[in-house]
Structure 1
Amino acid sequence: MTFRIRAARADDLQHLYEMAKLTGGGFTNLPPDRKALRGKLERAGAAFARADGPVTDELFVLMLENVATGEVRGTCQLFTQVGQQHPFYSYRLGTLTQHSKELARTFRAEMLALTTDLEGSCEVGGLFLHPGERAGGLGLLLARSRYLFIRAHRARFADRILAELRGVIDETGGSPFWDGLAGRFFGMSFQDADQFNAINGHQMIADLMPKHPIYTAMLSEPARAAIGLPHPSGRAAMRMLENEGFSFEQYVDIFDGGPTMTARTDRVRTIEQAQESRITAVHNDGGEGEEALVATGRLADFRCAFGLVRPAADGIAVSRACVEALGVGVGDTVLQVPRW
């Protein structure tokens, strides 16, 4: 069974909506709201249609498709430069050290400061894989295809990149971090606030979020424990980000306290190691070779799939299933990077 990544189309609305209903909350980039999802597809359509130009605030949406059946089983998103239309808020976890000579004691207080430090970065997010397909490396295909898309359209993306991981959500769908901090200022449940933010944007944060630093000692124990922790389902995603060169620099999501991972765009491992190669032969699957991600096409014609690649005269030989999934052949140039 072969899968490929392709650009999203307007007729993917129902596919996105069905996946959004399966996320279980706390997934701001994929709200179960048809109007919001239609807006994302329209925005992505405009980005795919713009051939050139400077870095600006755009959104690209990619889909994971079963080549044989045409079923859509996953999605992911790329934001070229966040914080241009609305402020991009994060909490930065820091420490304030104070010393009392009279008591001969030093106190180190952990604090959360509201910041827009990450404004202007590009972002990878919105990754969702259907529960029935969480095997065979399809999550890795979704995640790393985004970096190959960036590599193929490097001029459209900022020099710093971030990824927000969903934070801890309890069995009732609530967030201990939200209940211990922001929820006290908004008068809304986490689910209501998260849905409102996903549909209407961040202005409510600017209007109501306290601007002064927050001492974490004043928060409840469950709220403190959730700071910087990913949702259990996001631990594998965090490891993949770390493998790509992302790191946790003490930025956390203001809603659920989940970690925000950052890197320099050109130092992301997949982007740095990807190579352009010419296909000079096609081989039947099996035998010697290296498993790789292979991508072709620009903008709305972008496609990516797994393939078995091996050296060939003046280029590479690629497995037949892969070239058929991508619609390429001998003489075409592709972008490829090892699957690790």
Structure 2
Amino acid sequence: MTFLIRPANMGDLQPIYEMAKRTGGGFTNLPPDKKALSAKLERSAAGFDRVGDDVADDLYVFVLQNSVTGEVRGTCQIFGKVGQRWPFYSYRIGALTQHSVELERTFRADILNLSTDLEGATEVGGLFLHPGERAGGLGMLIARSRYLFIRNHRQRFADRTIAELRGVIDEAGGSPFWDGVAGRFFGMSFQEADEFNAKFGNQFIADLMPKHPVYIAMLQESAKTVIGVPHPSGRAAMRMLENEGFAWENYIDIFDGGPTMTARTDQIRSIREAKDVTITEISPSAGEQNIHQKKLFTIGRLHTFKAAYGWIDDRGDDVIMDTESAQALNISVGDQVTYVERS
């Protein structure tokens, strides 16, 4: 076992900043700005330290760390309840059907409606994996560890969970959707709006965005074709979300038009299938013959939470863990862990 997930701290600011600079824009939850990232880490520390188990406007930031070298090579976030500091806006794709008797014609118009339907939901986001580590299931480790954290702190999270996927960004760093819709009303480029939103929130959307529906047929073709389409780098993330039970229900991001995926929290696969067990034995031979599939497991609560892949042989009354994983996460016989099958 080489990599583990743990809560981020202020000592992780520099590696998180270095990763933020690699995102290529449109990654609102991971802005390449040290002041904004520092504020996120401070807010995250307050969330982990908060007393009480109610749903609140918390932020939890995690990092993927190489347990051998100590290097931070990935990060992810959970927002306990969106739409509390400022409105959480989305476009919802609806339709208006009209019929003309004289023309004997029925016409259906697809419409973008500005919506705050998703306010109050829990959001998973801010997932970034260093390009050098995009193999060996590490993306899945980062993504699914969030769901196990939610499961083991269930009262802190809402009954609906959402995930915003970055939309299509062109080679110049612009957004065809922004240029065709919102950008017409703000007098700023996509990069400027994206940076401002990451640093100061989206209240400016409420102040300036027209409240009237937008007819998709009236948009330029470059904007229409990217509605609900994830950035090429986000297609694998979309598949992972779908495997967890998330679905696209016609909500899109107001900046870049990327899809917003939604799920009932208790129906997320990792949450639904996870098991709590007590370790009864730690053995160096666990998994030696590759007969026990590696599991994704977690231990600890709040700031002591950790997640990793390891060998767990669950025989009911006897639960055996491999020595390497136990040592890396300081697990002893008698400790309770939560695990879910890797695939």
TM score, norm. by length of structure 2: 0.97
Q: Distance in 2 between matches of 1:338 and 1:73?
A: 23
1:327 aligns with 2:335: no
Code of the residue aligned with 1:258 in structure 2: it is: G
Match of residue 229 from structure 2: 229
| Aligned with residue 338 of structure 1, among 324, 327, 341 | 341
What is the distance in 1 between the residues matched to 2:315 and 2:243?
Answer: 29
- 1:252 is displaced (CA, Å) by 0.2
What corresponds to 2:209 in structure 1?
209
**How many percent identity over aligned positions?**
64
Residue of structure 1 in register with 2:89 after alignment: 89
The range that moved more, 223-232 or 45-54, is 45-54
After TM superposition, list the pairs within 5 Å mapping 1:248-327 onto structure 2: 248-284=248-284, 285-287=287-289, 288-312=291-315, 314-327=317-330
> Which SS does the other structure have where 1:199 is aligned?
helix
Q: Deviations over 1:115-154 (max 9, x none)?
A: 0000000000000000010011100000000001001111
Partner SS, residue 226 of structure 1: coil
Deviation at 1:11? 1.2
Shift of 1:12: 1.1
| Moved >6 Å (runs of 4+) | none
**Please, which runs of 5 or more residues in structure 1 have no aligned partner?**
none
SS in 2 for 1:110: strand
1:173 aligns with 2:146: no
Alpha-carbon shift at residue 53 of structure 1 (Å):
3.6
| TM score, norm. by length of structure 1 | 0.98
Residue 283 of structure 1: CA displacement?
2.7
Looking at structure 1, the residues matched to 280 and 53 of structure 2 have their Cα atoms a distance apart, in angstroms, of: 33
Any conservation in 1 of the 2:180–2:220 contact (CA below 8 Å)? yes
| Deviation of 1:329 (Å) | 1.9
**Within 5 Å, which residues of 2 pair with 1:189-200?**
189-200=189-200
Q: 1:85 deviation in Å?
A: 1.1
Aligned residues: 340
Contact 2:127-2:142 within 8 A present in 1 as well: yes
Verify: 1:46 aligned to 2:46, yes or no. yes
CA distance in 2, matches of 1:312, 1:323: 18
The equivalent of 1:28 in structure 2 is 28
Q: Does 1:123 pair with 2:126?
A: no
* Equivalent in the alignment of 1:101: 101
Cα RMSD, aligned residues only? 1.0
Q: Secondary structure at the match of 1:143?
A: helix
Measure the CA separation in 2 of the matches of 1:325 and 1:246: 32
Unaligned runs of 5+ in 2: none
Q: Tell me the distance in 1 between the aligned counterparts of 2:249 and 2:34.
A: 35
Tell me how far 1:279 sits from its aligned partner.
Answer: 0.7
| Paired amino acid for 2:118 | L
Instruction: Say yes or no: does 1:187 pair with 2:190.
Output: no
Alignment check: 8 A CA contact 1:90 1:114 kept: yes
User: C-alpha separation between the residues in 2 aligned to 1:222 and 1:69?
Assistant: 45
Whole-angstrom CA distance in 2 between matches of 1:174 and 1:283:
54
Q: Which moved more, 1:44-53 or 1:69-78?
A: 44-53
Q: How far apart are 1:60 and its partner, in Å?
A: 0.3
Partner of 1:5: 5
Instruction: After superposition, give the CA deviation of every residue in 1:46-95 in whole Å (9 maximum; x if it has no partner).
Output: 01111324211110001100000100000000000000110000000011
Corresponding residue for residue 78 of structure 2: 78
**Aligned-pair distance for 1:311?**
2.4
- Work out whether 1:149 is the aligned partner of 2:149: yes
Give the aligned residue type for 1:156: R
Q: How far apart, in 2, do the equivalents of 1:40 and 1:267 lie? A: 29
Tell me, in whole angstroms, the C-alpha distance in 2 between the residues paired with 1:163 and 1:311. Answer: 32
Amino acid at match of 1:201: G
User: Which residue number corresponds to residue 112 of structure 1?
Assistant: 112
Cα distance between partner residues in 2 of 1:222 and 1:49: 46
Aligned match of 1:66: 66
